[in-house]
């Protein structure tokens, strides 16, 4: 949140630009003196003219929190993602076009997320569905997947809570009226049979609810103390290990990861489908109980690519 702060001293008005933000339970404040008796100053215009310096000041305040993390071998990547996230947030405030940007994000996210799970619908067809609400694409199931994904993203923004009923509801919205590759309808609720994903065993059906409850409890206990990037990526990894549903776990898991990021002021991430195999391998290695750095590294590379793409889009919008 940023605003212009005006202090009156006798007959003079002293104007400052102020930005406040919170992270990991801590509150921060940036203040820049603008001048005396500046009656025509506009907050957005000041932020636009000083975007780089204000973003850098916020970044410097966040660096000590980043230094506490041990996520990847190349800390520069983590710093790049952090700085770019700040720049995007400030740019969105200048442009006042966040809703339109998130619609554009949805087009890219839905295409890539569904493509990871085997959808063949082209990117331009996904865009058409979102922009016009109609499609003549021959695979009706894949068209419905797009409509469901739109509804799911709306649900995540407006109503979702980090509890088991909300996760079940998210799965239901994503899979409503769809058929699986076997031709059968998606089953309701948690999986009833064990599943092995990419040669990795997942949580047995009888333990799904208890393991998911533990994951949610960990999230609640850490959401104000752990860095949001680590919190989001760890949640995604553990969720995929539980694999609570027979299918649809990747799509729900990526939305949950982004919900955590957005709840903490970060722009959401696209996992680009051309690296599907690398993404699956990174999850498998992360779940194997060893070093998670390759998993973190891959997700952060996708975050940087997402942020580069959308910074340019917002700037030109």
DSSP labels, 25-67: TEEEEEEEEEEES-TT--HHHHHHHTHHHHHHHHHHHHHHHHH
Which residues does 93 contact at the CB level (< 8 Å), separation at least 6?
2, 44, 47
> Is residue 110 within 8 Å of 130, Cβ to Cβ?
yes
Please give the Cα distance from 242 to 256 (Å, whole number). Answer: 14
Dihedral sign for Cα 145, 148, 154, 158, please.
negative
Contact call for residues 66 and 217 (beta carbons, < 8 A): no
Collect all residues with Cβ–Cβ distance below 8 Å to 178 and sequence separation of at least 6: 141, 144, 145, 148, 185, 186
Q: Quick check: 39 pLDDT over 70? A: no
What pLDDT digit, counting tens, does each position of 43-90 carry?
999 999 999 999 999 999 999 999 989 899 889 999 999 999 999 999
Query: Do the beta carbons of residue 227 and residue 69 sit within 8 Å?
Result: yes
Q: What would the mean pLDDT of 89-100 be, rounded to a whole number? A: 95
Retrieve residue 167's tokens: 């996760």
Report the pLDDT value the prediction gives residue 209, as an integer from 0 to 100.
97
Mean pLDDT lowest for which of 97-101, 128-132, 192-196, 232-236? 192-196
Helix (H, G, I), strand (E, B) or coil at 6: strand
Cα distance between residue 197 and residue 120, in whole Å = 20
pLDDT by residue (tens digit) across 252-262? 999 999 999 99
The percentage of the chain sitting over the pLDDT mark of 70, rounded to a whole number, equals 100
The mean predicted confidence, pLDDT, of the chain is 94
What pLDDT is recorded for position 86? 98
Q: Residue 270: exposed, middle, or buried by beta-carbon count in 10 A (0-12, 13-18, 19+)?
A: buried
Contact 147, 123 (CB under 8 A): no
How far, in Å, are 86, 89, 211 from residue 31 at the CA level?
A: 16, 17, 45
User: 151-191: per-residue pLDDT in tens?
Assistant: 999 999 999 999 999 999 999 999 999 998 788 888 999 99
Query: How far is 123 from 108, CA to CA, in rounded Å?
Result: 8
The domain made up of 98-316 has a fold known as: Fic-like fold (1.10.3290)
3-state secondary structure 234-278: HHHHHHHHHCCCCCCHHHHHHHHHHHHHHHCCCCCCCCCHHHHHH
pLDDT in tens, 105-124: 999 999 999 999 999 999 99
Report the alpha-carbon distance of residue 254 to residue 269 in Å, rounded. 8
DSSP SS3 for 117: coil
- Indicate the domain borders of the chain: 1-49, 98-316
Query: Among candidates 241, 243, 240, which has minimal Cα distance to 271?
Result: 240
């Amino acid at each position: 949140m940023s605003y212009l702060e005006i202090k009156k001293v006798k007959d003079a008005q002293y104007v400052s630009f102020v930005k406040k933000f919170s992270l990991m339970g801590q509150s921060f404040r940036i203040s820049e003196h603008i001048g005396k008796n500046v009656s025509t100053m506009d907050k957005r215009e000041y932020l636009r003219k000083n975007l780089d310096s204000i973003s850098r000041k916020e970044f410097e305040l966040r660096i000590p929190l980043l230094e506490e993390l041990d996520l990847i071998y190349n800390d520069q990547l983590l710093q790049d993602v952090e700085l770019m996230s700040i720049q995007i947030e400030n740019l969105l405030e200048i442009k006042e076009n966040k809703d339109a940007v998130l619609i554009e994000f949805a087009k890219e996210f839905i295409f890539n997320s569904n493509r990871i799970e085997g959808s063949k619908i082209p990117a331009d067809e996904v865009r058409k569905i979102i922009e016009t609400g109609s499609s003549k694409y021959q695979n009706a199931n894949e068209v419905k997947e797009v409509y469901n994904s739109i509804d799911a993203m709306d649900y995540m923004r407006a109503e979702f809570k980090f509890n088991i009923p909300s996760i079940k509801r998210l799965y239901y919205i994503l899979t409503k009226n769809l058929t699986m590759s076997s031709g059968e309808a998606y089953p309701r609720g948690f999986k009833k049979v064990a599943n092995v994903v990419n040669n990795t065993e997942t949580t047995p059906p009888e333990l799904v609810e208890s393991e998911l409850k533990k994951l949610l409890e960990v999230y609640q206990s850490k959401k104000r103390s752990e860095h949001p990037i680590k919190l989001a990526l760890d949640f995604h990894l553990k969720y995929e290990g539980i694999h609570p549903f027979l299918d649809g776990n990747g799509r729900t898991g990526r939305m949950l990861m982004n919900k955590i990021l957005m709840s903490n002021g970060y722009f959401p991430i696209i996992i680009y489908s051309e690296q599907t195999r690398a993404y699956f391998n990174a999850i498998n290695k992360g779940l194997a109980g060893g070093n998670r750095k390759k998993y973190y590294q891959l997700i952060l590379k996708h975050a940087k690519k997402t942020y580069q793409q959308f910074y340019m889009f917002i700037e030109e919008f």
